[in-house]
Amino acid sequence: MSEMKAVIKSGKSGSYDGLWTTYNKAYVRSDGYIYDYYSNITNYVPGDDQDGGTHPQENYSYNREHSIPKSWWGGDKSAGTQGCDPFIVVPTDAKINEIRSSFAFGYVSSVLERSANNYSLLGYADETWGYSGKVFEPNDEVKGDFARIYFYAATKYDVSSWDSGDGSEFFSGNLSKYFGLTDYAIKLLSYWSNLDPVSEWERSVNNKIEPIQNNRNPFIDHPEYANVLWGNHSNYTIYNH
């Protein structure tokens, strides 16, 4: 862990407003539209469809989603922080982002709200994973993406104070154990990382963000690192979802 941290810690995120520009460079699909992590019905034009605070329904506008909710760690969005890091703050449909709110990721057993085509779900957790509250479940296509985002965050940043609210389900506040991740986080994220292997899309994002921020997500380049660091504690193979 310390070796990876030394490699990526020098990379500094730009400004919060600068994320829009980064999205135009790193998060545009091959057809020219913004990649949306929470909805599969959107075709957002880079820049033109940015959220202005009004998003009455899905497929109206896209915004900047803190995949690790900012309320968990205080919400600092100054340049150089996790609040502006384009590896963590990704483009999503604004309405579905609003539905996700600051709920933890997990598997949904009882659906309360959903995006079109059941691409993303909000509901009560599948308690076999060790959590009984409300959770947000992204689609299988991006579960691994989010797992590798969380592994990256735990490597690059000091996550010892990221346990406010539902953040306590993922971050323990104890860096000496599992590098600050909880048992629930390790089980879920390890499973997701193996369920959804690294895609060409992730590699493309990694390559495009590197010259902007001067660091990469090492778990995209080497997804096996997650199993080296956390695999002995994950027991992800016992779950059959």
Q: Mean per-residue pLDDT for 53-73?
A: 97
With 0-12 / 13-18 / 19 or more C-beta atoms within 10 angstroms meaning exposed / middle / buried, residue 61 is buried
- Give the residue numbers spanning the domain of 73: 2-238
Confidence band for 34, pLDDT divided at 50, 70 and 90: very high
Q: What is the pTM of this model?
A: 0.95
One-letter-per-residue 3-state SS of 154-206: HHHCCCCCCCCHHHHHCECCCCCCHHHECHHHHHHHHHHHHHCCCCHHHHHHH
- Does 7 score more than 90 pLDDT? no
* Number of domains within the chain: 1
Place of tokens 């205080």: 74
What value does the mean pLDDT of the chain take?
93
Place of tokens 């993922």: 170
- Does 241 score more than 50 pLDDT? no
pLDDT in tens, 176-192: 999 999 999 999 999 99
| pLDDT for position 236 | 47
| Beta carbons of 112 and 122 less than 8 angstroms apart | yes
| pLDDT for position 1 | 67
Task: List Cβ neighbours of 181 (8 Å cut-off, separation of 6 or more).
Answer: 150, 154, 159, 170, 171, 172, 189, 230
Largest CA distance in the chain: 46
**Amino acid letter, 43:** N
Write out the two tokens for 64: 């900047």
Count of beta carbons in the 10 Å neighbourhood of residue 228 = 10
Kindly report the length of the chain. 241
Count of beta carbons in the 10 Å neighbourhood of residue 13 = 27
Q: How far is CA 53 from the centre of its chain?
A: 22
φ/ψ bin of 59: left (φ > 0), alpha (ψ from -120 to 50), beta (otherwise): left
Count of beta carbons in the 10 Å neighbourhood of residue 129 = 17
Nearest partner of 104 among 146, 62, 142, judged by Cα = 146
pLDDT in tens, 202-211: 999 999 999 9
